Amino acid sequence: QKEVEQDPGPLSVPEGAIVSLNCTYSNSAFQYFMWYRQYSRKGPELLMYTYSSGNKEDGRFTAQVDKSSKYISLFIRDSQPSDSATYLCAMSVDYGQNFVFGPGTRLSVLP
């Protein structure tokens, strides 16, 4: 079993839809969780950062962490074509160290 699993997609949704992106993990010691967005041929861009369980909201983006289920989610409201990218989850046990990345989910938002 991989340490972090993520559906690679591609996930296609119409413009304006609510998008749900998810990662599951096996290491219960992970405490720090991040979501990155990567456009084609670009480096990943940090979207959201959360610690431990709970929700965090930033504009159209909401990150959820459920440590009991070892499951994290990123929700995108009112999705736009410009949201089309690959979304990577990442997590770590230690403060700022040893990040483990998921393989990424490719999202296409169709106009």
Residue ranges that bind another protein, judged by CB under 8 A: 32, 34, 36, 41-46, 49, 88, 95-97, 99, 101-104, 106
Cβ nearer to another protein, comparing 76 with 90: 90
Min separation Cβ 26 and another protein, Å? 16
Q: How far is the CB of 110 from another protein (least distance, A)?
A: 19
Q: How far is the CB of 54 from another protein (least distance, A)?
A: 16
What 3 state SS string does 68-108 have?
Answer: CCCEEEEEECCCCHHHCEEEEEEEECCCCCCCEECCCEEEE
Dist. CA 25–CA 11, nearest whole Å: 20
Comparing CB distances to another protein, the nearer of 60 and 106 is 106
DSSP bridge partners of 107: 11, 85
